[in-house]
Amino acid sequence: MELLHQPGQIIAERYRIINTLGQGGIGITYQAEDIQNHQQVALKALALRRMTEWKVLELFEREAKILAQLNHPAIPQYIDYFQVDAESDRGFYIAQQLAPGKSLAFLVENGWKPHEIEVKRLAIQILEILVYLHNLTPPVIHRDIKPQNVILQENGQIFLVDFGAVQDTYQNTVTGGSTVVGTYGYMAPEQFRGQAVLSTDLYGLGTTLLFLLTQKSPADLPQRKLKTDFRPHVSISQDFADWLEKMLEPIIEDRFPSVNAALSVLRGEQAINNFFSQKPRRPKNTIISLTETEQNLVIEIPPVWLATPHSKLFALIPITWNGFLLLLLWIISASNSSLSFSGILFLSVFAIIGIWIICIFLFSAAFRTQIEINHQHFQLKRWFLLGYHQQMQANRSDITEIKRNPIGLKMNKQPITVCLLRIKLHKHRFGTFLMESEKEWLIGEISNFLAHSVG
C-alpha cells in the first residue's frame, strides 16, 4: 500500500508525521507529534480515493465511535476523529495515544522467546482487558487479537491496539453483519462465515499465545479434526496445555463460556473440568432458536405441526378416533335407524373425547413456546396462532428440577419423553413433539445455564 504521508508532513495544522507504524486493510497508522502539546500520537489515516468499497469507511468510522467510548488503562486513549479535504481526495483520521513499547510480533521476530510464566502473565492481562470490553453495554468484540496488536512495555504491562475490526454485539447479532474481518491464522472459524461472538476473542488470544510459545504462525501448525495440533510443538505444563486447547476449540460451544471463566481457570480459582460440559450438541436442522449470554437464556420453540415423526404419530390418534366417530354416524344415517337415549349419550361422550384429543394435539403441535431465564427470574410463554396466550412467571431460585420425563409410549423401541420443568410443586411440560435429540439438547442447555450462570 502506497503511503499517504511522508515524515515531516503536517496534517490538519496539528499533527506532524514522524514515521510509519503499520499498514492494514483499512488504513495506515503513523507515529506523529501533536505540535500543540508536543506529545506523540498514533494517527490512523484512510484516503477516500483508495477505498475499494464503502464498507471500509464504515469500519473506520465504527472504530472511531467505539474508541471514543472506551476508558481502560491498557487501551490507548482516544483523542480525535476528523477529516481533511484535498483538491482531489478526502482523508479520514483517528488520533490516539501512542502506546509505548514493541508489539509481540516484533519482539518474537527479534529473538524473544518467553517462558510459560511470562506467557501466562500476558494472557491474564489481555483477559482482563476483554472482561472490560465484554461487560460493556453492548459488549464489544475486538475480533483481531494477534501478536501485532498487543504492545508490550518495558515494565511488563501491555496495550491492546488496532480496533479496526471491532464489532459491538448489537450490530453483529441484530443487523446480521456479515463482513469477514480478522487475520488468517488468528481468526476463529466462525469469522470465516462473517460471524463473531464473545468467545471469538478467546480464540484470537489462544492463537496469539500459541505464536509466543511456538515462534510460528498458528496457520503453519498441523491440524487434526479441525483442531490445531500444537502439543508436540510446545514445552508447557499439562494444565496450561489443557487450558490453551479449550481456548482454541473450533466449535464455539466447546470453548470457555466467557472470558471470566477462562480467567478464573488460568488463575487457579476454578477447575477446568467444570467447563467440560457433557451437554449434547445442537441438532442439525432444528427449528429451535436459542440465544445465551452470561446473564440471560432465551429459547424459542415455533409450532411443530407435522414436521417431526412424533407429531405425525400423535396426529393419528385424533384422526383415527374422529374418523371412527364419523364412520358410526354414517352407518347410523345410512340405515335410517333411530338411536336410543343410551346410544345418543354414547356418541356424545365419544364426540367430546374426540374434540378433547384434537385440543390436546393442537396444544402440543400448534403452540409457539418461549422460555426466558435470567439471573433472577424464569418466564414461560405460549401462543396459539394469533389468539390464545398463556404466561407463567417465577423466581429462578424456585426451579427445582429440569429433565426429560417418559410418557409411557415408545417409538422405534425408544421411550417418548416430554421436557419437564418443576417450579416448586408445579410441573410445566413443553416440547412434546420435538425430536428426542432436541429435547436432550434443550435440557442440557437449560441445566448448564442454571449451573454456571450468575444467579
Q: List active site positions.
A: 144
Q: How far apart are CA 197 and CA 229, in angstroms?
A: 23
Find cell 509505548 and name the residue: 100
Q: How far apart are CA 72 and CA 65, in angstroms?
A: 15
**Whether 210 contacts 221, CB under 8 Å:** yes
Measure CA 147 to chain center. Answer: 23
**Whether 151 contacts 126, CB under 8 Å:** no
**Whether 144 contacts 159, CB under 8 Å:** no
Q: How far apart are CA 81 and CA 67, in angstroms?
A: 10
Helix spans in 41-149 (H): 54-67, 104-109, 116-134
Angle at 129 between CA 62 and CA 210, to 5 degrees: 100
**Whether 233 contacts 216, CB under 8 Å:** yes
**Which DSSP category does 127 fall into?**
H
**Whether 186 contacts 105, CB under 8 Å:** no
CA within 13 Å, CB half, 212: 25
Give just the sign of the alpha carbon dihedral 264, 266, 268, 271: positive
